[in-house]
Structure 1
Amino acid sequence: MATGVDAKLLKSTKFPPEFSKKVDMQKVNIQVMKKWIANQVTTILGNEDDVVIELIFNLIEGSRHPDIKSLQIQLTGFLDKDTAAFCKELWKLLLSAQDSPQGVPKELLEAKKQELLQEKVNWTIPYIFF
């Protein structure tokens, strides 16, 4: 529920085109997204802020089709200049997740695959020389 100030901000803020697409949270693996959200917020703020993290969880889980524009307006006081970039990345991942059979964004699956490959490479390199 938006206040008068929030309503004005919603009208005056220019949002990315992705924000016009809906996300069905029933198709998203919420646990994977929660981990990503917690990591991103911690990186942005420089420390783990459970209040902000829980606020985001509540905003995306509160509705089957969350309103990313409203979420961005509500987070601006916490994430300041990083809010727009965070929300855009979050929304892209949620859109990707709802199209994935596992409900996991393909970008996160690719990143995990690369991380595992790198670990395997790092693990085998020292033994090549012996």
Structure 2
Amino acid sequence: MSGGFFRGTSADQDTRFSNKQAKLLKTQKFAPELEHLVDMTKVKMDVMRPWIANRVTELIGLEDEVLINFIYGLLDGKDVNGKEVQISLTGFMEKNTGKFMKELWTLLLSAQKNSSGVPQQFLDAKEEETRKKKEESDRIADEIRRTRDKESRELEQEKLKKMLASAIIWVHVLYLKTAVGRRCK
């Protein structure tokens, strides 16, 4: 009877207790972007956090701080596996998980490649925004310049009218003086 009491299979050997994560990794479909691990030390999460929060809110229809913080936690590590993150999020985001993960992973891979740690898409968007602001400020400056030029021309015309009116009055005064002077003689 020594040691014979605990015979049978261990939890590792029993199929009822199989690794569900490994099973899901084999059966679930993933976007090709998720094949690559992301080195999160090369990514600026300060830039990614607002995008994640906004996108999750858009996809699920409400702002879920718990889910958003859970995603931040899943991305908190050195090398992060996108497939594992997707499996962890599927219960929360359901049909939107694949779409969200594809977008997120595309951005993270881009950020990892970029020396600044910011996705190229964000840099391009910021550049476009800066360009539009510059165009708008240039347009406003041109409008101000045109308005000033117009006001300056109008002021100049007003001065010319006054000078002309003044000259006409002087001509009349001189005419009258000469006419009166001739009559007096």
User: Residues 28-107 of structure 1: matches in 2 within 5 Å?
Assistant: 28-61=43-76, 63-107=77-121
User: Residues 4-43 of structure 1: matches in 2 within 5 Å?
Assistant: 4-43=19-58
Question: What is the rounded CA distance, in whole Å, between the counterparts of 1:80 and 1:58 in structure 2?
Answer: 19
2:124 aligns with 110
Identity of aligned residues (%): 45
The structure with higher relative contact order (CA 8 Å, sep 6+) is 1
Name the SS for the 2:79 alignment partner.
coil
Question: What is the rounded CA distance, in whole Å, between the counterparts of 1:47 and 1:120 in structure 2?
Answer: 35
Aligned length: 127
CA-atom RMSD in angstroms: 2.0
Gaps of 5+ in 2: 1-17, 148-185
Q: Say which one has the larger Rg.
A: 2
Offset, 1:108:
1.0
Question: What is the rounded CA distance, in whole Å, between the counterparts of 1:26 and 1:8 in structure 2?
Answer: 29
Change (3 A) 1:78 1:119: farther
Q: TM-score, normalised by structure 2?
A: 0.61
Q: TM-score, normalised by structure 1?
A: 0.84
